[in-house]
Each structure stands twice: as C-alpha cells, then as structure tokens.
C-alpha cells in the first residue's frame, strides 16, 4: 500500500495542512492522531468542540517558488513550521498539524 501511495503522490503531490487555533500541545497531538486515522479510514468522522481547517494543497512540480507564512507565530516557531513543511514534501503520508492559521502559495513559471 505504501508504495502505491508514494507512486501516486509523485504523479500528483498533495500536502495536507490542518490547523485549529490556540490548541495546547496535548490537544494538538490528539488532533494529529485523529487526522492520521481519518486519512487511513475516510469514512471516519472527526468530531471536535473547536473549529478545524483542512486544506489539501496541490504541489506544483513546475513551481518557481513556494511561499508559506503565518502572522500568528513567533520567530522561533518559523523553523519548526519549516521542518514540518520539509517532512510533508518528502513524505506524502505526513500531515502538517498546527495550532495557528498557515497560508500557502505556489508560484508557477
């Protein structure tokens, strides 16, 4: 199964970006588990008592540049988000889950 997903992801890469504002670390880890389970089992709903945003971002292989930003995070957390993005770009099964809004733009040729 893993090889099939990876092969398909190379043809049409997608990043899953999930955020729910102002969750603490424990709640954020729980949300990540729920999201990972929902990806494996699409019939499983995610039920929460807070607002959840989920974007599927199609990665443009011909992109000249990629801009990702959030005006809600401290400068020390920028590197953390950058590492999350690098993991997601390498592994099609990785999900970026954060507790602040993130914006993403692909700039094509």
Task: Encode the chain (109 residues) as per-residue pLDDT tens digits.
Answer: 444 545 544 555 889 999 999 899 999 999 999 999 999 998 999 999 999 999 999 888 778 899 999 998 998 899 999 999 999 988 888 999 999 999 999 898 7
Residues 6+ apart with CB under 8 A from 32: 18, 95, 97
As a whole number of angstroms, the distance between CA 101 and CA 59 comes to 19
- pTM of the predicted model, to two decimals? 0.79
Which pairs count as long-range contacts for 4-9, CB under 8 Å and 24+ apart, including other chains? 5/92, 5/93, 6/92, 8/92, 9/92
């Amino acid at each position: 199964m893993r090889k099939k997903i990876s092969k398909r992801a190379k043809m049409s890469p997608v990043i899953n970006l999930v955020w729910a504002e102002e969750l603490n670390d424990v709640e954020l880890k729980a949300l990540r588990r729920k999201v990972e389970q929902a990806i494996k089992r699409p019939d499983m709903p995610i039920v929460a008592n807070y607002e959840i945003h989920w974007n599927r971002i199609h990665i443009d292989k011909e992109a000249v540049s990629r801009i990702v930003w959030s005006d809600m995070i401290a400068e020390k957390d920028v590197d953390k988000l950058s590492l999350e993005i690098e993991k997601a770009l390498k592994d099609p099964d990785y999900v970026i889950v954060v507790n602040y809004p993130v914006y993403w733009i692909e700039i094509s040729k």
